[in-house]
Amino acid sequence: MTKYVCDVCGYVYDPEEGDPDNGVDPGTAFADLPEDWVCPLCGASKDDFSPED
């Protein structure tokens, strides 16, 4: 699964790890994150993320 990087702060969302602190289970693809999910470090929206190269 593709990792996504926050364009604002550099946080990397890894689908294999998810975001358990914010209710996102491991194995959750970026596309399947809730629309109101935000970067856990800086609060940027999903629109501020890009696929990792």
pLDDT in tens, the chain (53 residues): 899 999 999 999 999 999 999 999 999 999 999 999 999 999 999 999 999 98
Q: What is the DSSP letter of 48?
A: G
pLDDT of 51 reads: 98
pLDDT of 53 reads: 81
19: which 2 tokens? 């975001």
Report the DSSP beta bridge partners of residue 5: 12, 50
pLDDT of 19 reads: 98
Of the candidates 52, 4, 2, the residue with the CA atom closest to the CA atom of residue 37: 4
Residues 6+ apart with CB under 8 A from 4: 12, 13, 30, 49, 50, 51, 52
pLDDT of 29 reads: 98
